[in-house]
């Protein structure tokens, strides 16, 4: 039984209780640290099995639903991260995409009548009180206008603005706590991601912005009959109610239903990839929430987009770098890919970039022609361990939703075509750019890059020529050097360093416990205050000892992996 199916039919906690700021912070902190404790407990006692992970994932989904829309949105984002989460978490979190419990039809009707200033049946001839779908921020009802057009009415959940204000404060306090007491979180720039997340979240609850986004998105795809964006009926729309053209379709990840309708999933896959390349590299305005609940396919094979609340823009400078990166990937030019990723802030420059370059070269050589197989990274285990230790990769806040979109699309592409080839799928987009007349700076730059790529393909040098050219470039830049180091010695020294810390903490814990006992018993309670202070100090020292032991255990596992 799914985590959502196990929920009681009554309203969720966030729907029933009018939380104060302090109460909301307590809820968020309690849920977060309970989950972190579960993860630590499973790792410490080595019970991190598939069954345990599934149990933890179900707990996480239930608590995200109980905490409300902000955390449902976070869960939806995490449900696409197959690169960082185990499959048990992906499976459970994916329930948050389109199975969020609905609110009552009466509440929906009251909001519509209040927003539009008329009775429901004055506005719509027919209105289906059972929602077609319920999402984290609202739900959708089917209706018919008095003019006969079939429409869908998107109604916002009541009380969202106040809840977001509370969550903005609660999550901000949580991140400050992490930043102060968990130094390892600082390298992820969580504060920047938090700012970006809530900026877009507040935009999502203004349906007037969503309607404008839909109009702009539709205009970008004028002349593309296979991309469908429903029409907005502005006379029946406000900041909390949005009336759209009814355009039904098959869920984009339902491969069996697509094949039953005579549609080719590989062709749909190619259409989706080319559509997103246009959004990212040509328009600079993209749909940032392309999960299967927001993408459908019409019986004729057109791609239908729903929900335009989460849209994002790519700044001109970043778009230029993305264009360069895209064509560098197609050319398998590792140096260019590294340079552009560094300029966009995805890679932190470090003293020795060779492990990063070797890993990217491995990825470009192996996986531009077929999907990534994580098990093949065993061949470059040394580089992966070196990168893990130095951690030069980072996620710029402004790129959070770009990466979210790309990882979601990659997951859909794997479902539609498990052996999909990115280079082949992108060819129609490249050809369309080559044939353009280059109107405007962006199109001109794209066309030039595409033409350069085709010239490169025709005059591609041999592998030996490329190696010699790169060797010459590295000698000229003074990058070529002989580096001698013993990785085994380095790893041993790191383990010794952690073990010494653990020994110091163990001695300090024992000393404070002994001192506290002496002060409490030997002085007949005369210095009980000092004894309590000693016991508190022993507790903190004991936690540090526990942390050092966990670090030592993790370090040993990493070293064993590298030595295999």
**Could you give the residue numbers annotated as active site?**
289
Sequence-distant (≥ 6) Cβ neighbours of residue 431 within 8 angstroms: none
Count of other CB atoms within 10 angstroms of residue 144: 15
**Nearest-angstrom CA–CA distance, 274 and 279:** 9
**Nearest-angstrom CA–CA distance, 82 and 70:** 21
**Nearest-angstrom CA–CA distance, 68 and 165:** 13
The 8-class DSSP code of residue 286 comes to: E
**Nearest-angstrom CA–CA distance, 119 and 307:** 26
Residue with tokens 């005059």: 459
C-alpha dist (Å) from residue 68 to 13, 310, 401, 430, 528: 8, 18, 21, 43, 46
Kind and range of the H or E element at 123?
A: helix 120-123
**Nearest-angstrom CA–CA distance, 413 and 295:** 12
Q: What are phi and psi of 284, to 5 degrees?
A: 70, 20
**Nearest-angstrom CA–CA distance, 128 and 152:** 10
Through-space distance between the first and last CA atoms of the chain, rounded to whole angstroms: 40
Q: What are phi and psi of 124, to 5 degrees?
A: -120, 140
User: Do residues 70 and 165 touch, judged by C-beta distance below 8 A?
Assistant: no
For 7-72, strand residue ranges (E) read none
Q: Which residues pair with 492 in a beta bridge?
A: none
Nearest to 327 by CA among 234, 434, 230: 434
Length of the chain: 564
Q: Which residues pair with 144 in a beta bridge?
A: 126, 150
C-alpha dist (Å) from residue 263 to 249, 257, 419: 12, 9, 18
User: Do residues 362 and 322 touch, judged by C-beta distance below 8 A?
Assistant: no
Distance of CA 96 to the CA centre of its chain: 14
């Amino acid at each position: 039984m799914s985590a959502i199916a196990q929920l009681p039919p009554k309203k969720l906690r966030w729907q029933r209780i009018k939380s104060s700021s302090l109460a909301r912070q307590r809820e968020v902190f309690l849920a977060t640290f309970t989950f972190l404790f579960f993860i630590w407990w499973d790792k410490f006692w080595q019970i991190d099995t598939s069954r345990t992970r599934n149990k933890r994932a179900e707990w996480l989904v239930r608590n995200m639903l109980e905490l409300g829309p902000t955390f449902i949105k976070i869960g939806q984002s995490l449900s696409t991260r197959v690169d960082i989460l185990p499959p048990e978490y992906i499976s459970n979190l994916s329930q948050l995409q389109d199975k969020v419990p609905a609110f009552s039809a009466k509440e929906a009707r009251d909001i519509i009548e209040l927003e539009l200033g008329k009775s429901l049946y004055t506005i719509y001839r027919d209105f289906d009180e059972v929602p077609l779908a319920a999402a984290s921020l609202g739900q959708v009802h089917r209706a018919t206008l008095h003019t006969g057009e079939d429409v869908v009415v998107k109604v916002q959940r009541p009380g969202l603005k106040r809840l977001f204000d509370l969550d903005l404060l609660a999550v901000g306090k949580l991140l400050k706590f992490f930043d102060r007491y968990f130094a390892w979180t600082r390298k992820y720039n969580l504060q920047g991601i938090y700012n970006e997340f809530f900026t877009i979240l507040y935009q999502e609850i203004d349906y007037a912005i969503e309607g404008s986004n839909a109009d702009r998105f539709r205009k970008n795809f004028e002349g593309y009959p296979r991309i469908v964006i429903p029409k907005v009926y502005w006379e029946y729309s406000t900041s909390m109610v949005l009336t759209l053209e009814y355009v039904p379709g098959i869920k984009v990840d339902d491969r069996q239903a697509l094949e039953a309708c005579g549609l080719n999933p590989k062709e749909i896959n190619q259409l989706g990839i080319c559509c997103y390349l246009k959004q990212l590299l040509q328009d600079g305005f993209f749909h940032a929430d392309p999960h299967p609940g927001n993408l459908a396919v019409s019986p004729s094979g057109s791609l239908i987009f729903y929900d335009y609340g989460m849209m994002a823009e790519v700044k001109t400078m970043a778009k230029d770098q993305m264009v360069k990166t895209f064509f560098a990937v197609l050319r398998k030019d590792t140096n260019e890919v590294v340079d552009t990723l560094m300029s966009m802030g995805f890679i932190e420059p470090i003293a020795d970039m060779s492990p990063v370059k070797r890993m990217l070269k491995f990825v470009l050589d192996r996986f531009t022609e077929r999907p990534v197989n994580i098990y093949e990274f065993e061949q470059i285990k040394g580089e992966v361990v070196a990168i893990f230790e130095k951690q030069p990769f980072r996620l710029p806040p402004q790129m959070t939703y770009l990466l979210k979109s790309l990882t979601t699309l990659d997951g859909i592409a794997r479902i539609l075509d498990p052996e999909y080839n990115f280079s082949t799928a992108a060819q129609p987009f490249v050809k369309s750019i080559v044939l353009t007349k280059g109107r405007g700076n962006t199109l001109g730059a794209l066309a030039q890059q595409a033409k350069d790529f085709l010239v490169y393909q025709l005059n591609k040098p041999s592998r030996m020529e490329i190696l010699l050219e790169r060797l010459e470039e590295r000698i000229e830049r003074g990058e070529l050097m002989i580096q001698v180091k013993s990785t085994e010695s380095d790893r041993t020294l790191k383990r010794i360093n952690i073990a010494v810390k653990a020994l110091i903490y163990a001695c300090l814990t024992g000393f404070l416990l002994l001192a506290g006992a002496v002060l409490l018993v030997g002085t007949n309670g005369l210095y009980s205050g000092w004894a309590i202070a000693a016991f508190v100090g022993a507790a903190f020292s004991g936690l540090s000892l526990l942390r050092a032991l966990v670090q030592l255990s993790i370090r040993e596992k990493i070293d064993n992996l590298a030595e295999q």
